[in-house]
Chain A
Amino acid sequence: MNALKALLFNPSTRQTLLAFASLLALMTFFSVASPNFLQADNMVAILQATAVNGVLAIACTFVIITSGIDLSVGTLMTFCAVMAGVFLTYWGLPIYVGVLAAVFFGALCGFVSGVLIAKLKVPPFIATLGMMMLLKGLSLVISGTKPIYFNDTPEFPYISQESLIGYFVPSLPIPNAVLILFIVAVLSSLVLNKTRLGRYTFALGSNEEAVRLSGVNVDFWKIVVYSLNGAICGIAGLLIASRLNSAQPALGQGYELDAIAAVVIGGTSLSGGTGTILGTIIGAFIMSVLTNGLRIMSVAQEWQTVVTGVIIILAVYIDIIRRKRQ
């Protein structure tokens, strides 16, 4: 009983529970509002729609916990997709090289951001804003502003679109993109909670100076966090490219805001030091359930945006009240 009480009063558990309850409330609401919502096909569509934003949001979670920010995740995702296209379509290399290239270039760009922030002391907002534009431009330059199609790599769409789960359990045709989202989530959660990197991530967000004074190489760990963030964006790049069967060079800007919104709805504070991957995933699902549900209800599009905005403000406000009470 006491253990249960302790668990329930643990702030981060409570925040996650709250987010989860909101998600369930939303799903219940839409199920009642429209008979077309709670259909297997539509559930798969929601899962599919969450995959890319979910992975980007996981990437952002790390950086935001260190009290940093990454505005470049959207265009970095696109850049990685384009690089996969260069390796697979332009150079005709085998698929695993393309996959590795996407993750590698993601990590490399994250590394560059990390060095800018940790070593050159450029504020994260500015450094990643610069990267956002730089990468957007590079994607357009490298691709010649045209989408790169993966027609010569017929297996490429499988990364997102086929269903490995459905192969073993035919009644559960959950697309691979979703499976990858969950694998990334579980691994990230392990890194965040069970490793030194995770402990330093939280510590950097709560009190960077204290960490520095206790003899930890703050700059090094910051660079590691941004590189990891970049590598995860590379995975998102693979997911989106595979889903569209093409690298769309003009895509990406604006996706960072969706990702940050998901992180914040999931209870990670923008001032750093707290946050969970589970919360972020739930936040990402809240966003896509909301968008999908409003569409299914045929709510006018201008109102969809209004409602999404209200939900984001509400979620953060509830979080603020909760913090005040503690």
Chain B
Amino acid sequence: MIKRRTLTLALGLSAALGLSGTAYAQETYIPLVSKGFQHQFWQAVKAGAEQAAKDYKVKVTFEGPETEAMVDKQIDMLSAALAKNPKALGFAALDSKAAIPLLKKAQAAKIPVVAFDSGVDSDIPVTTATTDNLAAAGLAADKMAELIGKEGEVALVVHDQTSRTGIDRRDGFLNRMKSNYPKIKIVSVQYGGGDQLKSTEITKSILQGNPNVKGIFGANEGSAIGVLNGAKEMKRKIVVIGYDSGKQQKAAIASGEMAGAITQNPVGIGYKTVEAAVKALKGETLPKIIDTGFYWYDKSNLTDPKIAAVLYD
């Protein structure tokens, strides 16, 4: 009885796995271990990586934990990736220090590591493909100042206060306001975990508590949508500036509900990561940082081919 059931279990498993079976060719294999996976942003990074894989004839896989808090899950992913004898490795660290032992192992095995997105605090990676978030958020501040007439109250809804991108985007925005626009007052900086619903509630309470707020900056896709929803529910006309793209944000910008947003180049991040890995394998020297760029986009240039290419749904 036991045997039969076990067999059924094993067969069921094989069938389930068969769906996505893999071939083991002797090709150059480069796993990418990212900070996230489900979010549209990461799917765009993945798409870029896959494009580069096609162009350079290598095999890539793309994985990341469900939430950006799961540092240990990411470490497990990294060690599984290393077990597959990769030729090179792409890595976006949730916590650089926690990953150092495994990265040292990669280094000892002569596997070049390319850091992407948030980078890795260590000299092990051969290069880092990333957006200059400080400068990008600074540009968002400039646009905000311009749109509200360089004076008045402004607030921020940020995804978190622990990650590099959260800190850089917040500080990039705050610093630019402080140094260039003395008449603009930041009344509130709140954190919504990038969760649309939470960010909506936060926005509503900011608007409730500060009736004179003229504009809010949402520091990632989830935050920006939350700001938009919050303003809509409170029936308040404010200047909303977002970050990244996604279907809803694009639609809001097209309709004028959102003034505009900063877009990184996620497809480019994925592409450049794989490209850098291939170059490292060929022994080429790489710059310490590969800036993957950022753009301001609004109603006027939404359909510009240069912009449209880096936006994702």
Interface residues, chain A, with chain B CB atoms under 8 Å away: 14, 17-18, 21-22, 25-26, 28-29, 33-37, 39, 41-42, 45, 48-49, 52, 145-147, 149, 161, 240, 243-246, 248-254, 288, 291-292, 294-301, 303, 306-307, 310-311, 314, 318
A46 → B minimal CB distance (Å): 9
Query: Are B162 and A146 closer than 8 Å at their CB atoms?
Result: yes
In residues 84-135 of chain B, which contact A (Cβ within 8 Å)?
Answer: 84-85, 95, 97-98, 101
Shortest CB distance A89–B (Å): 13
Q: Which residues of B contact A301 (CB under 8 A)?
A: 37, 62-64
A244 in contact with B70 (CB, 8 Å)? no
**C-alpha spacing A291/B63, complex, angstroms:** 12
User: Please, which residues of chain B bring their CB within 8 A of the CB of A253?
Assistant: 69
* Inter-chain contacts of A243 with B (CB < 8 A): 72, 75, 98
Alpha-carbon distance between A26 and B22 when the two chains are bound, in angstroms: 17
User: Which of A25, A41, A306 touches B83 (beta carbons < 8 Å)?
Assistant: A41
- Nearest B residue to A299 via CB reads B20
CB distance from B203 to the nearest CB of A (A): 20
Cβ-defined contact, B6 with A303, below 8 A? no
B22 close to A298 (CB less than 8 A): yes
Contact (Cβ within 8 A) B10 A25 = yes
The answer to whether A250 and B162 touch across the interface, beta carbons within 8 angstroms, is yes
Chain B nearest CB from A29 CB (Å) reads 6
Chain B residues whose CB sits within 8 angstroms of the CB of A294 once the complex forms: 17
Interface presence of B12 (CB below 8 A): yes
The 10 A-B residue pairs whose C-beta atoms are closest, nearest first, are A250-B69, A295-B80, A25-B10, A244-B98, A42-B83, A21-B6, A45-B79, A49-B76, A299-B20, A298-B61
Assess the A251–B63 pair: CB atoms within 8 A: no
- Which residue, of B82, B84, B161, has the highest number of chain A Cβ atoms within 10 A? B84
- B72 surroundings in chain A (CB, below 8 A): 52, 240, 243-244, 251
0/1 interface trace, chain B 1-39, chain A, CB 8 Å (1 if under): 011011101101110110111101000000000000100
What's the Cα separation between A306 and B6 when bound, in Å?
20
Residues of the A chain whose Cβ atoms lie less than 8 Å from the Cβ of B66: 254
Q: Give Cα distance in the complex from A251 to B16, angstroms.
A: 31
Q: A250: shortest Cβ distance to chain B, in Å?
A: 4
Residues of B within 8 A of A318 (CB): 5, 9
- How far does the Cβ of A79 sit from chain B's closest Cβ, in whole Å? 14
B-chain residues with CB within 8 Å of residue A25 when the two chains form the complex: 6-7, 9-10, 13
Q: How far is the CA of A18 from the CA of B69 in the complex (A)?
A: 35
Interfacial chain B residues near A297, Cβ < 8 Å:
17, 21-22
CB–CB B69/A35 < 8 A: no
B67 interface residue per 8 A CB criterion = yes
Contact check, A33 vs B162: say whether CB atoms are below 8 A apart: no
Q: How far is the CB of B13 from chain A (nearest CB, A)?
A: 6
Which of chain B's residues has its CB closest to A8's CB? Answer: B2
Q: A306 — which chain B residues lie within 8 A by C-beta?
A: 16
Cα(A26)–Cα(B13), bound, Å? 8
A211 to B5, CA, bound (A): 36
How many A-B contacts if CB must be within 8 Å?
Answer: 126
Closest to A144 in B: B161
Q: Is the CB of B16 within 8 A of A307?
A: yes
Please name all residues of chain A whose beta carbon is closer than 8 Å to the beta carbon of B71 when the two chains form the complex: 244, 248, 251
Residues on B close to A: CB < 8 A? 2-3, 5-7, 9-10, 12-14, 16-17, 19-22, 24, 37, 61-64, 66-72, 75-77, 79-85, 95, 97-98, 101, 160-162
* Given contact pairs A25-B6, A33-B17, A52-B72, A254 touches B67 in the complex (Cβ within 8 A): yes
Is the Cβ of B70 less than 8 Å from the Cβ of A45? no
Question: Which residues of the partner chain B approach A288 to less than 8 Å between Cβ atoms?
Answer: 76
Using CB atoms, name the residue of chain A closest to B101. Answer: A161
A–B complex contacts, Cβ < 8 Å, 8 sampled: A22-B9, A22-B10, A25-B9, A149-B97, A244-B95, A250-B69, A306-B16, A314-B9
B70 CB to nearest A CB, Å: 7
Shortest C-beta distance, B33 to chain A (Å), equals: 10
A246/B95 in contact, CB under 8 A: yes
What's the nearest-Cβ distance from chain A to residue B89, in Å? 14
Residues B80 and A251 in contact, CB atoms below 8 Å apart = no
Q: Is the CB of B70 within 8 A of A254?
A: yes
Minimum CB–CB distance for A257 against chain B, Å: 11
Which one of A149, A252, A296 lies within 8 Å of B84 (CB-CB)? A296
Q: Tell me the smallest distance from the CB of A227 to a CB of chain B, in Å.
A: 26
Residue of A nearest to B80 (CB): A295
* Nearest Cβ on chain B to A161's Cβ, whole angstroms: 7
Given contacts A25-B10, A251-B72, A303-B20, 11 further A-B contacts (CB under 8 A): A25-B6, A33-B21, A34-B84, A145-B161, A243-B72, A244-B97, A248-B71, A251-B70, A296-B84, A311-B13, A318-B5
Cβ-neighbour of A295 out of B6, B37, B63 (below 8 A): B63
Q: How far is the CA of A211 from the CA of B238 in the complex (A)?
A: 63
Given the interface pairs A36-B83, A299-B17, A299-B22, the reply to whether A248 lies near B76 with Cβ below 8 Å is no
Task: Give the shortest distance, in Å, between B54 (CB) and chain A (any CB).
Answer: 16
Instruction: Answer whether A310 and B24 are a contact pair too, CB < 8 Å, given A42-B80, A243-B72, A298-B61.
Output: no
Residues of the A chain whose Cβ atoms lie less than 8 Å from the Cβ of B61: 298
How many Å from the CB of B6 to the closest CB on chain A? 4
Q: CB-CB < 8 A to B95: which residues of A?
A: 147, 244, 246, 248
Partner of B2, one of A14, A240, A246: A14
Task: Look across to chain A and name the residue whose beta carbon is closest to the beta carbon of B193.
Answer: A250
Smallest Cβ distance from B164 to chain A, in angstroms? Answer: 12
Known: A25-B13, A296-B80, A311-B13. A18 touches B85 (CB 8 A): no
Distance, CA A245 to CA B95, complexed state (A): 10
Task: Name the A residues within 8 Å of B68 (CB-CB).
Answer: 250
Which B residues are CB-close (under 8 A) to A42?
Answer: 79-80, 83
Interface centre among B17, B80, B160 (most CB of A within 10 A): B80
Q: Which of A244, A252, A292 has a CB less than 8 Å from the CB of B80?
A: A292
